Amino acid sequence: MCTVCGCGEGQTVIDGKDPKKHTHSHDHSDGHDHSHEHPHDHDHSHDHIHEGHDHLHYGNGPAHAHAPGLSQSRMVQIETDILAKNNEYAATNRHLFQQKGIFALNLVSSPGSGKTTLLTRIINDMKSEFQINVVEGDQQTENDAQRIRATGARAVQVNTGKGCHLDGHMIGHALESLSPEEGSLLFIENVGNLVCPAGFDLGEAHKVVILSVTEGEDKPIKYPDMFYASDLMLLTKTDLLPYLDFDIEKCMELALRVNPKIKILQLSAKSGEGMESFAQWIKATRSAQLVGHPSLKASA
């Protein structure tokens, strides 16, 4: 995973700006001069090859990953260092959200699940009640941010270049551009990827994993880390179920097997079915988060 290789480092662009060239409130005492050396430690055993079986499990070992030339211990150390730094940035973001009563959701899915369509629908459904801001994550283009802005919501586009996920540092820069209002909703639409975003805390209140019925019902057990890390699963594009061979009960059973605590909602952004349930979930979980925030109690 990318915590091992450090993919796309230094290529992020936020609404056309290089985040290294503008001021911000994060402590960069480490200097960001990441050399990303890849020492070729050849002390790893190739126990991931099982003779006589058509199964190559590269998730074996303490790192649960494989990188050519890196030992398991080296990969564990790299991942620990990267995630520790990310968690510092995420903690700063979370503190800001708590101070200002901002309810932040991290929307994660594979490409093509309908995240942006779902997002535009829920914004239109809720914008009369809340100020809404969006951080859009894609490797390239500003297409999705433009779609969000067409709803009237404010959006910042984060282009990650070769990077396959958003991280806490990127979100911190995006927040500087957005300056989200006290008591507002913040939706973070992560880069389409069911692997790497699972490991990166952004400071959000909840991860929401989106799975469309046009995908396989076995996604939860193929990509268990993402479903385990999420508090809510949205099964989208349910208007297409009559035309598909998708076992929705099996999908939900597998998701609950991976994460017994995950809540599951079925909906269609096109027909509107289930959207009210999603809106009610947002309001209820937001209200629970605002307990102890007197200035926002009335509006919750």
- Read off the CATH number of the domain in which 145 is found: 3.40.50.300
Evaluate whether residue 61 is within a structural domain. no
9 contacts: CB under 8 Å, gap ≥ 6 = 34, 36, 163
Whether 125 is covered by a domain: the verdict is yes
Residue 13 domain-assigned? no
Q: Is 240 a domain residue?
A: yes
Q: Is residue 76 assigned to a domain?
A: no
Structural domains of the chain, count: 1
Rounded to a whole number of angstroms, the distance between the first and last alpha carbons of the chain is: 39
- Say which residue the tokens 């890849």 belong to: 38
Strands of 154-159's sheet, edge to edge?
13-14, 154-159, 132-138, 185-189, 103-109, 206-212, 232-236, 263-266
176 occurs within a structural domain: yes
pTM of the model: 0.80
Rounded Cα–Cα distance for residues 85 and 81 (Å): 6
- Rg from Cα positions in the chain: 20
From first to last of its 300 residues, the chain has per-residue pLDDT tens of 465 555 555 566 787 666 555 444 444 344 334 333 434 343 444 444 344 557 667 566 775 666 677 687 876 666 666 678 999 999 999 999 999 999 999 999 999 999 999 999 999 999 999 999 999 999 999 999 999 999 999 999 999 998 899 999 999 999 999 999 999 999 999 999 999 999 999 999 999 999 999 999 999 999 999 999 999 999 999 999 999 999 999 999 999 999 999 999 999 999 999 999 999 999 999 999 888 776 675 454
Domain range for 272: 86-289
Q: Is residue 60 part of a domain?
A: no
